[in-house]
Structure 1
Amino acid sequence: MSTATTNLNIPIADWFDPAEAMRDPYPQYAQLRALGPVVYAPTVARVFITNHEAVSEAEHHPEIFSSYSETNLTMMRAIGGRPMLRKDDPEHAQERKAINPTLRPKAIKNIWSPKFQETVEYWLQRLIDIGPEHADINKDFAAPIASQNLIDLLGFPDTVDVTDMARWSIDFIAGTGNLLDDEDIWHRCDTSRQEVDLILDELLPSLRSNPNGSITSHLLEVGLPEEVVRANVKLSISGGMNEPQHMISNMVWALSKHPEQRELLLNGTAQWGPAFEETARWQSPIGMVPREVVQDTEFFGVRLEKGTNVGLLLASANRDPVAFDNADAFDITRTSGGHLGFGSGVHLCAGRWVAKNAIADHALPRLYEQLPNLQLDSKRPPVWDGWVFRGLTDLPVTW
């Protein structure tokens, strides 16, 4: 990126290591913030926005930091189209408005919350049946719950299995974060995209004749072109399962590492809603979102030219000690809000409230009601992965 490499005012983080960030990005995030709010990382050819103030400022100025990028194309390559997340208003607003009826509080309360409860009860019993010697919260609880919830929200047929939805989501997320252009990941994306399109080939005509309250149905009802509907369904598959799944597993891991805070929840001193928000801050499932500078600008003392590739480091902003007291600590009683775990501005995650209902009202309370002695299995270590999107791939537990 010529802008950053020729800009003498921008700090250079030539030591930033994406492979190390996959293991644990937070030490490098602290180093990036120490360099400044705007830092260039040659290894990923991107300008990072590193702290809470700067990320928030960029999120609220889409006329400068655009989602409609002609260079940040990994998501479009992964899902085969440009979804609303890679558009600016008014196109973004039109498409987002189409899915809002599915995700409004009334719909969550009357339609989705009862379904979420049924799904949790089913998979909780499956987890218990697997037993404390073999259970894995991510594979046996978080992933199937997030997958089934998304199948319901999208209005997909019963023939779609939770393992299919999980695989599609994993592949689309891997593609979106495929900054190193791994061909194997693109092959996986192509396969998953073709499978989803086969489902949609039958589902879309059916929903045109018999609409329902699903995301897919609402996208059709407002008259969006079919390619736009398909792109946004695949967007929902990527984020709509990945983030809720990681939030469930991340919360169990965090509470297991902080048993004194788990006890506050179990005895009713603390509430699950704030615990959900603190987990989203402390172990952000979305680590970075891309933007493209679309007009020359000076940002926090650094000149950025049109065409500059930017990465807004949400996870780094959420550990900013200027914004949060004792920012590296996990504290479910924290009173300071304003975390960026689900973004902010016009691209604030549309599904955050439905995810919070599914997790903080159903999945986690019921899990600990049934298994109050749930803990990490010391014989089987957990496995973390990712920094653009981050979560646990393995979380063995016992009780």
Structure 2
Amino acid sequence: MTHAPTPVATPVATGSTGTIPVADWFDPHEAMHNPYPQFARLRELGPVVYAPAVGRTFITTHAAVSEAEQRPEVFSSQSETNLTMVRALGGRPMLRKDDPAHAAERSAINPTLRPRAVTQVWSPRFAENVERWIDHLLELGPEHADLNRDFAAPVASQNLIDMLGFPDSVSVEDMRRWSTSYIAGIGNLLDDPAIWARSDASQVEVNVVLDELIPRLEREPNSSITSHLLQVGLPEDAVRANAHLTISGGMNEPQHMITNLVWALSTHPEQRATVLAGEAPWGDVFEEAARWQSPIGMVPREVNVDTEFHGALLPAGTNVGLLLASANRDATAFPDADRFDVRRTARGHLAFGSGVHMCAGRWAAKNAIADHALPRLYERIPTLELAPDRTPTWDGWVFRGLTALPVTW
């Protein structure tokens, strides 16, 4: 990847043993369109870089992000300043708590998201949802189909409706709207009031559903995530906060993984030929796509205690951003990291985080996409390709994915 030379950064003094370079050129608006050139420049400056535009110290490299994720006693999720998620979801979910509070809530949902439960309980539902929405795509025809709008979003939404145990009255359009507004709120580092208004409205709508659902699940428990949260006796506010959390990521990231994968294969025809010839397993392709175009670009942390980290002194209270997407393009961890390569062994990527906060839904997402959505999509529509007369659109850097992917066949 080519980019302009990195200017000499003005260091910010942090103590006698280290300085932090300042990326005063980092532009979050530009990053919305394509963050990777700026991420490369950040890595050139070092593993710890301050970005004034977002008031945050970025951790940029694979080694540094991995280490920070393994040190939750220093890099805390239970911040009193990184509160966009709490604001967007109307409560503090497990992702914004440290152990032991985090562990208590995480252990509640683990049983329904482990590989055996995914295979036995959820995989058949995922298969049904994929077939239904491929039928829908075919009914629309090749002239008007948008894979994001007409397949990826509804499949991910219906999967999540099923996993949360929400009633049939909740539509895929409802779930998509809620998830989109929550994700925008969590990433609202610039404090846009219109974004808060949309996430507030979604909170109200979801809470109406939970008002009816919670008493029913208390009487009649089932395999759903919401039911598991209730069965361990969590306070209702924790159940609600984690239901909102699941909506935010449980639809958005799988949706983006489906479209990211199709876009990647469509723009790399030699890679697509390798996959469709059965020479690269779909599971490996899923992992490489997650590394190459990470749906989660950054996760926030707050430094608990004064600490020296990769040559920089970070005072207690420092707002930190762990740049997962930058770490996944670090050539010291992944040779030729800017290249999408379905034959790559992408083990060790950080697309789902690591440590105690590693994504609980990663097995469900991989099953839904690598075992069902992508194989069946190409089996039933083998000539699927990008529509040459309509343009795909990308958005986001805290969370990133395609907002439109016009296709034809």
TM-score relative to the length of structure 1: 0.98
| 2:205 counterpart of 1:206 | no
How big is each residue's C-alpha offset from its partner over 1:305-333, in whole Å with a ceiling of 9 and x where there is no partner? 00000000000000000000100000010
Out of 231, 234, 246, the position equivalent to 1:236 is: 246
Q: How many angstroms apart in 1 are the aligned matches of 2:326 and 2:352?
A: 13
Q: State the one-letter code of the partner of 1:174.
A: A
| 2:76 counterpart of 1:66 | yes
* Matching residue of 1:87: 97
* Matching residue of 1:367: 377
Contact 2:12 2:21 (C-alpha < 8 Å) held by counterparts: no
C-alpha RMSD of the superposition = 0.8
| 2:143 counterpart of 1:103 | no
**Partner SS state of residue 208, structure 2:** helix
* Matching residue of 1:218: 228
* Matching residue of 1:140: 150
| 2:302 counterpart of 1:292 | yes
* Matching residue of 2:37: 27
| 2:122 counterpart of 1:112 | yes
Contact 2:76 2:303 (C-alpha < 8 Å) held by counterparts: yes
Q: State the one-letter code of the partner of 2:107.
A: K
Once the two structures are superposed, the pairs formed by residues 1-399 of structure 1 within 5 Å of their partners are 5-7=12-14, 9-399=19-409
Contact 2:48 2:58 (C-alpha < 8 Å) held by counterparts: yes
Q: How many angstroms apart in 2 are the aligned matches of 1:177 and 1:282?
A: 20
Q: How many angstroms apart in 1 are the aligned matches of 2:342 and 2:203?
A: 39
Q: State the one-letter code of the partner of 2:275.
A: L
Contact 2:291 2:346 (C-alpha < 8 Å) held by counterparts: no
Q: State the one-letter code of the partner of 1:234.
A: H
**Partner SS state of residue 331, structure 2:** coil
Q: How many angstroms apart in 2 are the aligned matches of 1:40 and 1:395?
A: 34
Q: How many angstroms apart in 2 are the aligned matches of 1:130 and 1:334?
A: 35
Shift of 1:336: 4.6
Q: State the one-letter code of the partner of 1:229.
A: V
Q: How many angstroms apart in 2 are the aligned matches of 1:76 and 1:185?
A: 14
Q: How many angstroms apart in 2 are the aligned matches of 1:113 and 1:95?
A: 24
How big is each residue's C-alpha offset from its partner over 1:326-362, in whole Å with a ceiling of 9 and x where there is no partner? 0000001002520000000001100000000000000
**Partner SS state of residue 349, structure 2:** coil
Identity %: 70
Q: How many angstroms apart in 2 are the aligned matches of 1:269 and 1:9?
A: 48
Q: How many angstroms apart in 1 are the aligned matches of 2:158 and 2:176?
A: 9
Q: How many angstroms apart in 2 are the aligned matches of 1:252 and 1:104?
A: 26
Q: How many angstroms apart in 1 are the aligned matches of 2:13 and 2:29?
A: 26
**Partner SS state of residue 281, structure 1:** helix
Q: How many angstroms apart in 1 are the aligned matches of 2:346 and 2:135?
A: 37
Q: State the one-letter code of the partner of 1:190.
A: D
Runs of at least 5 residues in structure 2 that lack an aligned partner in the other structure: 1-10
**Partner SS state of residue 393, structure 1:** strand
